[in-house]
Amino acid sequence: MYGLKRAVGLGLLLALSGTALAKEPPQKPWNVVVILVDDLGATDLGCTGSRFYETPHIDRLASQGMRFTQGYAACTVCSPTRAALLTGKYPARLHLTDWIPGHVRPRAKLRIPDWRMYLPLEELTLAERLHEAGYATAHVGKWHLGDPPYFPQHQGFDLNIGGTQWGSPGSYFWPYGKADRRVPLEGGHEGEYLTDRLTDEAMKFITANKGKPFFLYFAHYAVHTPLQAKEQLVRYYEKKLAEANARGDNLNGQQCPVYAAMIHSLDQSVGRILETLDSLQLTERTIVIFTSDNGGLVLPACQKRPVTHNIGLRAGKGSAYEGGVRVPWIIRWPGVTAPGSVSHQPIMTIDLYPTVLDMLGLADDPSHHSDGISVANVLRGEGSLPDRALFWHYPHYHPGGATPYSAVRHGDWKYIHFYEDNHGELYNLKDDPQESQDLTDRFPQKAAQLRAVLEKWLKEVDAQLPTPNPDYQPE
């Protein structure tokens, strides 16, 4: 179906451009592996500051590529970020602004807009662009972008392994839930763990396509709830936590053994993918991108304790604050990006699409509007990104307590507009990354300036706004 959806620009995409920089080694076309983790916080890795979670393989990936300290998700919840990754467009432009099917509060102060609960087939996805350019394409893991008519096989992917409409598995252990909510994987066995099984499937795809360019979109269900992990790993982290507490170690609020064990399995998965690339001699021509769909979950879902803590950042998943949208970003581009490099330039999920096209030397389709920009020159070590603002729009209520908001970041400044009481908050992220000091009264002109920028953008993307609810009943 995807081949019939869009023919514009096909001729431009059938071959790789010959305009790549001379410093990029001549070779076969690049392969692309995108690893998207669910609910992984910005500081949930060893290389980003965790003292409790162990992530040696992901840390090694960072040491071999570039880590972005100010990487963002396009939304504070999952489905919108996934849509942004595949289209390069803001969720507000797509009218896909909440996790599917969302959180309903019929008596809330505001009525949420009639938003879209699927990724439109009319959108030209990154998978379609690469498929048209001769790439084998596979989606492995979580999809969460609509019902069966909108599944990966209709959006540019040759294979859909494990993708369905659900945002979380019924269980992380075989058979992965009951009939009304399970991950569609067959041929498993008792005790089989979902992260491991999906990794097996991803490795099979890489091996089967080692002789041609491939695009693997590996979207983990982990580390989303339900919190379930392999018992041996849970016991390991229970012991580690007990020993740390006995010594009086400061773990910065990261103290959930089950969550730590889930991250451990995730890290092992990344290690197995990297090992597969090594064993097939594909490492030197495979781009690996690692990121998360939103910030870490801080709700007390781990034996009445927070699942994780986004160290040095305020709040978590669902929130307008940095803990809800700041996420890990690691890109390894062998022979091009300096190993162990670190960038402090802000990037976002919307940038992945144009960046991949640029890295592959593929011509852009002028009929496709992308809100993102390529960060390939930063990866090449050739300058900085152009001055721009980054935006978020969440006209919804989140189970964690967040109310409808829109936000903008420009330079060091961030402005958040909350719709329930029509008030704004202003922060300087350079001086106050924890967003503890609202500077609206101190810098009213800056607040007004950023609010104007935000309002202009909302109109440009035709953002859907919440409206007064005639059925409102105060709690």
Task: Give catalytic residue positions.
Answer: 78, 144
Rounded Cα distance between 246 and 224, Å, is: 29
Q: Which two tokens stand for residue 55?
A: 């992530």
Rounded Cα distance between 223 and 195, Å, is: 9
Runs of H (alpha helix) within 362-443: 376-380
Helix (H) or strand (E) holding 392, with range, is strand 389-394
Phi/psi of residue 72, nearest 5 degrees: -125, 155
User: What single-letter amino acid sits at 85?
Assistant: L
Q: Length of the chain, please?
A: 475
In 3D, which of 241, 288, 275 has the Cα closest to residue 261? 241
Strand duo 66-68 + 329-332: pairing = antiparallel
Rounded Cα distance between 31 and 168, Å, is: 28
What ranges make up the beta strands (E) of 116-212? 136-141, 159-161, 177-178, 181-182
In 3D, which of 311, 313, 297 has the Cα closest to residue 436? 313
- With beta carbons less than 8 A apart as the criterion, state whether 13 and 133 touch: yes
Rounded Cα distance between 345 and 70, Å, is: 6
